[in-house]
Structure 1
Amino acid sequence: MPLHVIILAAGQGTRMRSSLPKVLHPIAGRPMLEHVLDAAAVLKPEQVHVVIGHGADQVQSCLAHRAVRWALQEQQLGTGHAVMQAMPAIPDTAEVLILYGDVPLISPSTCRALVEGLAHADLALLTVELADPHGYGRILREDGGRVVGIREEKDCTPAQRAIREVNTGLMAVRAGALRAWLANLSRDNAQGEYYLTDVVGMAAQQGGVAAVVAGDVDEVAGVNNRAQLAHLERVYQARQARRLMDEGVTLADPARLDVRGRVTPARDVFIDVNVVLEGEVVLAPNVTIGPGCVLKDVVLGEGAEIRAHSLLEGARIGAGSIIGPFARLRPGTELADHVHIGNFVEVKASRIGPGSKANHLSYIGDAEVGAACNIGAGTITCNYDGANKHKTIIGDDVFVGSDTQLVAPVTVGSGATIGAGSTITNDVPEGVLALSRSPQVAREGWRRPRKQR
């Protein structure tokens, strides 16, 4: 049977106290809703339907890159009503998996277990046992353990409130049966809403319910306020830290790492405290990342060392290279093996050859630097004329003295030396010494101006 996924994402989330729709609040730098979409995508459904309401335009704009069908819930009349908005596009022959946009840590394996539960019943329900079930709908079972319904807390008797097994809201249902049950929902309850949970009682009366018990409370936890959001952020990060350690990474403190993308590590990588990894990060064996570094869309070669408080984005770093401390590599940076980029050096859209060094206080932008070059402190490639970017080309074995300005477009030949304090505006031939200095003058008898007392 074809699988359709419905994700309910229409709620306002008033307890978040935010103008941002609740499902767009981030976990690991990405909207909660996107995490749910990722889990659903693993099952390869025929169609994903996202029911939106509050902040619908914002949600659609933020996730316009996802291949989903949007269904608008104009009035907030409960979860049952929300599901009704998606049903017109779902055939009766389909299986339907219902997820929530504010339950971001749901796993593909649990989603699959729910769908597989439909082999035994028309409805498979995900439940969980909580030490404190306050606020959740209770699972009602008969003496033999068969699920017979769900009772929302506001409608519970005192005895029912004592039940610790609760409804997570996640379920899988055969579409034809679901359509019939939704047509029989009533708003005759404390909230005046169409409860999706009421279909469980209907299913129990017409053949039974397959209950799937979640083993992880955090996996099915919803987010209603910022404290819960922060809690799930740390749960997510703890899982990422454990995965990296299982793959051979040493973390100085697993609680002080943030992964906001996909990290592909090799063995014997060391990551110090307060490191943030974003986008696609690939770490070769024996890489070392110092404290306070931020890496986004970076590939590090074997034995590369990123020293403290460096920021790397869109860069490829060769084996044995040393970056930092306090260095910045911007998109388009490609460093060959054994390159040194030191403190307060910025590199952007440049390629630097093997063994070259820029150890202090320099800017290298839109440049091609050869092998075994030394870029002195305070060197600047003047690549921007106010309208266009221009290229600086430096050959092999070039020595650039401190406080040099290379005014692009300019080429410096291999083996050339640039004297300190020079402003280079013309091409420099191979093997020469290039200087551009004003004559030094010493004036005898000169007196420095003094303030009158």
Structure 2
Amino acid sequence: MATALIILAAGQGTRMNSDLPKVLHRLAGAPVLVHAMTVGASLEPERTVIVAGHEAEAVTRAAKAHDETAEVVIQAEQLGTGHAVAQALPALKGFTGKVIVLYGDTPLIRPETLDALAKSPAGITVLGFTASDPRRYGRLIVAGDRLERIVEYKGATEAERAVRLCNSGVVAVESALLNELVAGLTNDNAAGEYYLTDIVAAARKRGITADIVICDEAETLGVDTRAQLAQAEAAFQARARAEAQENGVTLTAPETVFFAFDTVVGRDTVISPNVVFGPGVTVESGAEILPFCHLEGCHISRGARVGPFARLRPGAELAEDVHVGNFVEIKNAILDEGVKVGHLTYLGDAHVGEHTNIGAGTVTCNYDGVSKHRTEIGAHAFIGSDTMLVAPVKVGAGALTATGSVITEDVPDDALAVARSRQVTKSGLARKLFDKMKAAKAKRQKEI
């Protein structure tokens, strides 16, 4: 059956104590909302509708940046979850299939859980969990093996509050039925809100089946506070580390490695302690990431070795068997097979040919204060230590730059470029200068 998503993301999240909407706070390098959109996308929905409210423009930008096909509708007044879904339904006009309602602040639901919801044959299927501490969750009231109704905590009796089976808020409903049930909602309750949960009792009165899919409580964690954001981060990282190890990745100190929401690491890669992945990183099989590296927006090929203390920024492309050593930063640069960049170097806006060696302290001077410029280095070249490559500039294949050179002109293939002043040595002058400076210092101190 075809599916569509409605993702509720209109709340302000006052308990976050932030100017930023709660769904835009970052988890594993991406807004919490993006996590909800990503798991929803696993169903390959025909349509995705985001319901925004507080700071709607910012929420829209984040949603569109992740999925430009997503449609955003506005809930000007926050009058409850049922009211929020009502704002989204016109955007689903003409859709026939199952609608799944998700929450933009609930980022940890697994794809297999959503798949079970989508495949449920019941008219309405609710995602539930057994709570360790039910607190103020809505309760799922069951008769036999069927869900009869959902009771919000505020309106529940003591007997109903004793029930430990709780409502996550996530629900799957056939589209035509959802339109009918939402149209019939009222706000005759203790909070004066239109509860989406009331559709279960309404459907049961009509003889429509309602079912429950049970998930682990950890999947339903909502991010309403900074503490819950930290909980969600810890849960995400624990899950990501376990999945990496199951997929054949070696983590020598798993608790110190932090993945982004979209990190891809191939098997037989070894990741050392204190490595942080930002968004957009792919590491192929058999690579090695040494301690204290920060990687973002880069691609690392098979057999490459990175670190320790290396930083790869967006656009860094490392081919097979490349070595990037300590205190090296790579940005928007392609390093071909076998390139070695041992230490203390910055390569930005550059292309380095295969098996070239980059000496310590090399810098591609790519920015002139207005524009970025590119450096091209050919294959099998040797860039001497402390070379400044003033872009735009090209160094040919097999060429050599002398240590301490400032290269401002292109260097032909197989040529040697020396760009430094000739050394001048004055015998005995150092002692005379030191004696003069010490005498001047002693005179100043005496005057004081």
CA contact (8 A) 1:125 1:171 kept: yes
Gaps of 5+ in 1: 384-389, 424-435
Q: Structure 1: how far apart are the matches of 2:117 and 2:353?
A: 54
Distance change >3 Å, CA 79–CA 267, structure 1 → 2:
closer
The residue aligned with 2:87 is 85
Deviation by residue 1:100-159 (Cα, 9 ceiling, x = unmatched)? 111112233222222222x2x3211111111111010011123x2432111111111111
CA contact (8 A) 1:261 1:277 kept: no
Q: Structure 1: how far apart are the matches of 2:208 and 2:44?
A: 27
Aligned-pair CA distance for 1:334? 2.1
Q: Structure 2: how far apart are the matches of 1:55 and 1:78?
A: 18
Distance change >3 Å, CA 412–CA 441, structure 1 → 2:
farther
CA contact (8 A) 2:329 2:346 kept: yes
Q: Structure 2: how far apart are the matches of 1:183 and 1:247?
A: 47
The residue aligned with 2:200 is 200
Q: 2:111 aligns with which of 70, 87, 108?
A: 108
The residue aligned with 2:370 is none
Q: Structure 1: how far apart are the matches of 2:81 and 2:342?
A: 56
Matches within 5 A, 1:67-216: 67-91=69-93, 93-117=96-120, 119=121, 121-142=122-143, 144-216=144-216
Q: Structure 1: how far apart are the matches of 2:93 and 2:322?
A: 58
Report the structure, 1 or 2, having the larger helix content: 2
Q: Structure 2: how far apart are the matches of 1:252 and 1:241?
A: 11
CA contact (8 A) 1:127 1:211 kept: no
The residue aligned with 1:386 is none
Other structure's SS at 2:61 match: helix
Q: Structure 2: how far apart are the matches of 1:178 and 1:350?
A: 55
Deviation by residue 1:415-443 (Cα, 9 ceiling, x = unmatched)? 5263xxx33xxxxxxxxxxxx42654457
Q: Structure 2: how far apart are the matches of 1:78 and 1:109?
A: 28
Which deviates the most, 2-11 or 22-31?
2-11
CA contact (8 A) 2:384 2:403 kept: yes
CA contact (8 A) 2:411 2:417 kept: no
Q: Structure 2: how far apart are the matches of 1:48 and 1:259?
A: 26
Matches within 5 A, 1:296-335: 296-313=296-313, 314-331=315-332, 333-335=333-335
Deviation by residue 1:212-260 (Cα, 9 ceiling, x = unmatched)? 3323222222111111111111211222212221222110122221221
Distance change >3 Å, CA 403–CA 98, structure 1 → 2:
same
Give the total of aligned pairs: 426
The residue aligned with 1:431 is none
Scaled by the length of structure 2, the TM-score of the pair is 0.88
Q: Structure 1: how far apart are the matches of 2:26 and 2:425?
A: 60
Identity of aligned residues (%): 34
CA contact (8 A) 1:289 1:305 kept: yes
CA contact (8 A) 2:393 2:410 kept: yes
Which deviates the most, 85-94 or 8-17?
85-94
Letter in 2 for 1:196: L
Letter in 1 for 2:385: A
The residue aligned with 1:387 is none
Distance change >3 Å, CA 27–CA 446, structure 1 → 2:
closer
CA contact (8 A) 1:128 1:217 kept: yes
Aligned-pair CA distance for 1:58? 1.2
Gaps of 5+ in 2: 366-373
CA contact (8 A) 2:355 2:380 kept: yes
Matches within 5 A, 1:213-292: 213-292=213-292
Aligned-pair CA distance for 1:2? 4.5
Other structure's SS at 1:360 match: coil
The residue aligned with 1:426 is none
Aligned-pair CA distance for 1:165? 0.1
Q: Structure 1: how far apart are the matches of 2:316 and 2:88?
A: 43
Aligned-pair CA distance for 1:374? 3.2
The residue aligned with 2:422 is 437
Letter in 2 for 1:220: T
Letter in 1 for 2:106: V
Aligned-pair CA distance for 1:193? 0.8
CA contact (8 A) 2:33 2:107 kept: yes
Other structure's SS at 1:8 match: strand
Q: Structure 2: how far apart are the matches of 1:320 and 1:183?
A: 62
Which deviates the most, 439-448 or 369-378?
439-448
Other structure's SS at 1:350 match: strand
Q: Structure 2: how far apart are the matches of 1:69 and 1:367?
A: 42
Distance change >3 Å, CA 326–CA 203, structure 1 → 2:
same
CA contact (8 A) 1:214 1:220 kept: no
Q: Structure 2: how far apart are the matches of 1:416 and 1:307?
A: 30
Letter in 1 for 2:46: E
CA contact (8 A) 1:244 1:265 kept: yes
Aligned-pair CA distance for 1:72? 1.1
Distance change >3 Å, CA 141–CA 380, structure 1 → 2:
same
Distance change >3 Å, CA 250–CA 193, structure 1 → 2:
same
Q: Structure 1: how far apart are the matches of 2:285 and 2:45?
A: 37
Other structure's SS at 1:140 match: strand
Which deviates the most, 174-183 or 234-243?
174-183
